[in-house]
Amino acid sequence: RLGVVAARAVAPDDGARRPPAGSLVDGVTVVAADGRGLRLEVVRPEGRGDVTAADWVRGVRPAAGERVG
């Protein structure tokens, strides 16, 4: 599980194919059900303290399109 501590909304890339909701686009942006994105800033992995999303991605190395949640 992954908790979201801080995030910001980002506009969709209208020229891009949209992956399913909950999918990671670039490692730190999650696709929302309406096609917009949520850029993760700070996350809390289960059983751990807060870390920046960039540090979490470097440690976990999720694949593009991988679902989170």
Q: What share of the chain is helix, strand, coil (3-state, %, to 5)?
A: 10, 40, 50
User: What's this model's pTM, rounded to 2 decimal places?
Assistant: 0.76
pLDDT, tens digit (0-9, with 9 covering 90-100), for 9-54: 887 666 666 778 888 877 778 877 777 888 889 999 999 999 999 9
For residue 48, the model assigns a pLDDT of 93
Cβ atoms within 10 A of the Cβ of 6, count?
Answer: 12
Please determine, for residue 2, whether its predicted confidence score (pLDDT) is greater than 70. Answer: yes
Confidence class for position 6, pLDDT limits 50, 70, 90: very high
